[in-house]
Amino acid sequence: MSKQLWLVIRQTYKTRVKTPGYWMLVLAPVLILAVIAAVGFIITATQSHKTPVVGVVNQPALTQYLKHDKTVGVKTQAVTTQAKAAAELRKGKLDAYLQIKNKQFALISSADGETVSETKLQASLTNYTVAMKAAALHLSSAQLQDLMTPPTLTTKVQSNKGQSNGGDAADTANYLLASGIGILIFVFLTAYVGMIAQEIANEKSSRIMEILLAATSPAVQFFGKLIGIAGLAVTHAGVYLVAGLLVNIFAPQYKYLKTLKSLLTGVDISFAIMTALIALVAIFMYMVLTAIVAAMVNDQSQVQQAVAPMTYFAMIGYILTFTLNGQPHNMFLNVLSYIPFISQTLMPARLGLQYATMGQAAIALGLEVIVLIFLSRFGLRVYARNVLTYNDGNITKAALGSLKGLFVKHQD
């Protein structure tokens, strides 16, 4: 039986791994990222680096201040009247002009001119206004400097892993990490759930299953296909890992890679291993359930109907992942992160946000393993009973009726 099982595993793996569709699934995200990076590089390389020219209407002191302020990133010109500034703006001699009316600043920009950073200009105008008010109050330069020096605030986050830097940047990084984990696991799960459904439906619709079961047992076909498809998922992950290592070796200073590294600053090997185990067991669990349901389809036209409920169910954990950030003690989310079929995205996300410990993640993994063993044991019986049965009518109704076999003890 072990030899037959190995033959089914190898045949399932080799058949799929040689197809262009599989490699499109594997390489599509990499190609998309490569295209995005290439477009970003081209846009950056071809963008205009011309410094915008800003006219300042009838404000000599402000004109001189902005000329000496290099942080604002503009060239300034003194303009005597608003009408002259508007005329030069229309001719393209100015990219924008600045005027003061009723003690308020107004920036008028040309639609096709160089962009002026409103944030930098606002900061510069704020400093200018403070300096003018300080001069009116006869404050010394030292007093003005002391007045304008902002307080410093250092943020640290204390967790079971020790102390790390906090603040808005850290919160954003944690949120992006949790969201990225949810997206990656959901993509893997839906891809391989659909693959196992197609594998079984192909053989059943071509009536080749009768021949296969004449030479082997349902258990060999059931577990052989599951392990073969799981091998494809491991290969898929391995390709991404190797690609990441190659980029890290040959382009360590690439800005997007540096951004990714900043997101993964708090990630250690134990987190990576635990996340991989939870995701892998969940994918296998979903594939077992899908194989049971796929055994009830009659042809390829019913595959989508059979797989849709699995996808919708997997989306629960995926969607809830985006709500985790900032809610470490939400009872509803915490409980769901332990429930199999949902925990595969929620628990790794909580772990990445340091809302959960390794012990809690191990409990979620243990529950997944228990459900996987139960589902595999009783699912095999349902698979064996339905793989040679062809049902007419609604596949969902047939599936619900057959799944009762998970809890009904049959006499041989």
Note whether 115 and 182 are same-domain residues.
no
Note whether 218 and 339 are same-domain residues.
yes
**Is pLDDT at 167 greater than 50 in this prediction?**
no
**Is pLDDT at 95 greater than 60 in this prediction?**
yes
Q: Return the DSSP state at 99.
A: E
Instruction: Kindly state whether residue 209 falls inside one of the protein's structural domains.
Output: yes
Give the pLDDT confidence score for residue 268 in this predicted structure.
Answer: 67
Instruction: Kindly state whether residue 245 falls inside one of the protein's structural domains.
Output: yes
Q: Return the DSSP state at 157.
A: E
Give the pLDDT confidence score for residue 412 in this predicted structure.
Answer: 42
Give the pLDDT confidence score for residue 7 in this predicted structure.
Answer: 85
**Is pLDDT at 403 greater than 70 in this prediction?**
no
Instruction: Kindly state whether residue 222 falls inside one of the protein's structural domains.
Output: yes
Instruction: Kindly state whether residue 72 falls inside one of the protein's structural domains.
Output: yes
Note whether 228 and 339 are same-domain residues.
yes
Average pLDDT rounded to a whole number, residues 57-62: 89
Taking the C-alpha atoms of residue 298 and residue 288, their distance in angstroms, rounded to an integer, is 18
Average pLDDT rounded to a whole number, residues 37-53: 77
Give the residue from 230, 389, 392 showing the smallest Cα distance to 405.
Answer: 389
Q: Which helix (H) or strand (E) holds 54?
A: strand 53-57
* Residue 358, token pair as written in the block: 């390794």
Residue pLDDT, tens place only, 190-233: 888 888 888 777 766 665 655 666 567 778 888 888 889 889 98
More confident residue, 393 or 356: 356
Q: Which among 148, 183, 213 is the end of a domain?
A: 148
Q: Which residues of 67-196 form beta strands (DSSP E)?
A: 75-79, 96-101, 104-109, 156-159, 162-165
* Residue 134, token pair as written in the block: 């300080």
Give the residue from 127, 107, 120, 119 showing the smallest Cα distance to 72.
Answer: 120
Note whether 202 and 58 are same-domain residues.
no
Note whether 138 and 216 are same-domain residues.
no
Note whether 258 and 353 are same-domain residues.
yes
CATH number at residue 66: 3.40.190
Q: Which among 113, 148, 183 is the end of a domain?
A: 148
Note whether 142 and 261 are same-domain residues.
no
Note whether 191 and 279 are same-domain residues.
yes
Instruction: Kindly state whether residue 6 falls inside one of the protein's structural domains.
Output: no
Average pLDDT rounded to a whole number, residues 57-67: 89
Structural domain of 300: 167-406
Note whether 125 and 258 are same-domain residues.
no
Instruction: Kindly state whether residue 42 falls inside one of the protein's structural domains.
Output: no
Instruction: Kindly state whether residue 39 falls inside one of the protein's structural domains.
Output: no
Q: Which among 92, 119, 148 is the end of a domain?
A: 148
**Is pLDDT at 345 greater than 50 in this prediction?**
yes
Q: Return the DSSP state at 95.
A: S
Note whether 182 and 276 are same-domain residues.
yes
Give the pLDDT confidence score for residue 36 in this predicted structure.
Answer: 81
Note whether 283 and 322 are same-domain residues.
yes
Instruction: Kindly state whether residue 8 falls inside one of the protein's structural domains.
Output: no
Q: Indicate the number of domains in the chain.
A: 2
Note whether 233 and 358 are same-domain residues.
yes
